[in-house]
Structure 1
Amino acid sequence: MTEIPVAATLVLVRDGHAGAIEVLLLQRPDRGSFPGGWVFPGGRVEPVDEAADEETTARNAAVRETAEESALVVDPQSLVPLSQWIPPEQLATKFHTWFFVARAPEGELRLQQAEAIDATWIRPADALKRHGKGDLRLFPPTWVTLDTLLPFPTVDAALTAIAGREPQRYATKQDPARALAIWEGDEAYDGGADSEEGPRHRLHVGALPWRFEHR
């Protein structure tokens, strides 16, 4: 297990219209973690989730939290690992969060109001567009995940592609002066100076719309 607490997030996807998938986003209350933000279902690992290894533990937590928050029940074995997020040192509350993707199950969506005050099924492109206009509050892990899902026209295409590659690890560093979130692979990640053609893996968060550089 990592030195900081573990949490898990589940990105539920379903086939939408016009050749694009839809994801489930929940709006958090104006308090607690991600106040007022739109996020995927999830939360921290509890003792009931504990298993022999961290990934299985995180799967259990993702499924349990999703059922508690939305009443949608997913088989833990159907989850496909997408990414791991390690927060920047500056944050007072830190979680090492596993992100998984799974096909949305049948069933009626029922929200636990203490955890989510609203919900929407939305195409990733539409969510990012609404965020860019200031209509939908997102946080970097959700924003980057939505951007990652943009190319996929169907759930089958998304799950096949994601299952065929290693989960991306995002150990975030912040550059407050330039309003950047920076990840490994960026030439400034370990304190280097920017060059004109240097590698980039960063999110510009100083003004809307945010801008992702990854080259």
Structure 2
Amino acid sequence: PALPPVVSILAGTRVSPPEGAPPRPPPVPRDAATVLVVRQGAGDIEVFMVQRPARGDFPDLHVFPGGKVDDHDGELEHACHGLDDIEASRRLTLDGGGLRYWVTAIRECFEESGVLLAYRNGAMFEPRDEAEETRFEAYRNALAAGRTSLGEVVAAEGLTLATDRVAYFSHWITPEMAPARFDTRFFVAVMPPRQSARGHVRETVGGDWISPTAALKRFDADEWLMIYPTLKTLGMVRSYRTVQALFEAVSAGRHAIEVTPELHVQGMQYH
């Protein structure tokens, strides 16, 4: 399918608007967060990826679970474990409000993959039985439809958000030529044991586990559409053999994204 005009990654120059089109101010970027949920595969690390629906500004793309920051995401510091807004903002080099990106990442992860990064009674959350699985799937659907908030879910179930299990990864800003712009923080989290990941029928076309190498091969074969930050992220993750090594490196800030400063500022570009 035809892609909206964006930035030429190879030349590093902007794509010209259609001839005769009047200039228009670029959309203001919306704050967003996305999370790489990773697990150890048989040989390599695997990541959970979802496909966006055909509708919307970025149709059919394969991405990591994520979405826009919600107003309520900044109201849950009391429910976050091991991280407060001061430290979160320091890690993101913000004056304040950094913790809400972690909350967004956890909320969107639950909505789009069904994986809930939370603690119950001091242990990582896991459904006790089929009835509880059904109840939390109902929470997930209600969240996606805007009928409840993550704060209401954690309060009702006595949970705390596992913000200490979510590591800050990178920062990407959609270029001005894109039809919709996002100021997005990327995070990494290890798949909790005894939970399962699956795409949401409303939020995504589908979702599955895949190794970074296999995902990049699908892109090269024109089977998957992916944008520049996704490609660079997969390439970096591919360099690690184990989930533990990846998470430790990202948590300590030892990882590196191979982009020039100019491309980092321009951000979300089609390859």
Q: 1:103 and 1:113 mapped to 2: Cα distance?
A: 23
User: Unaligned 5+ residue runs, structure 1?
Assistant: 171-181, 191-202, 206-215
Q: Counterpart of 1:17?
A: 42
Q: Counterpart of 2:33?
A: 8
Contact 2:35 2:189 in 1 (8 A): yes
Larger Rg: 2
Q: TM-score, normalised by structure 2?
A: 0.60
Q: TM-score, normalised by structure 1?
A: 0.74
Q: Which amino acid aligns with 1:92?
A: P
Note the C-alpha offset of 1:70: 1.6
Q: 1:84 and 1:167 mapped to 2: Cα distance?
A: 13
1:61 aligns with 2:104: yes
Contact 1:72 1:109 in 2 (8 A): yes
Q: 2:115 and 2:270 mapped to 1: Cα distance?
A: 34
Deviations 1:107-160 (A, max 9, x none): 122432111111111110111011101112211111111011111111100011
Note the C-alpha offset of 1:169: 8.3
Deviations 1:61-118 (A, max 9, x none): 0100110112110122211111000111212321100000010123122432111111
User: Unaligned 5+ residue runs, structure 2?
Assistant: 1-27, 76-84, 86-95, 118-161
Structure 1 segments of 4+ aligned residues over 6 angstroms from their partners:
166-170
RMSD: 2.7
Larger helix percent: 2
Q: Counterpart of 1:88?
A: 175
Structure with the bigger RCO (C-alpha within 8 Å, sep 6+) is 2
Contact 1:83 1:167 in 2 (8 A): no
Q: Counterpart of 1:71?
A: 114
Deviations 1:27-74 (A, max 9, x none): 111011421111100000001101553331111001001101121101
1:160 aligns with 2:248: yes
Deviations 1:182-214 (A, max 9, x none): 74167xx99xxxxxxxxxxxx883xxxxxxxxx
Q: 2:211 and 2:198 mapped to 1: Cα distance?
A: 20
**Alpha-carbon spacing, 1:204–1:142, altered in 2? closer, same or farther (3 Å):** closer
Larger strand percent: 1
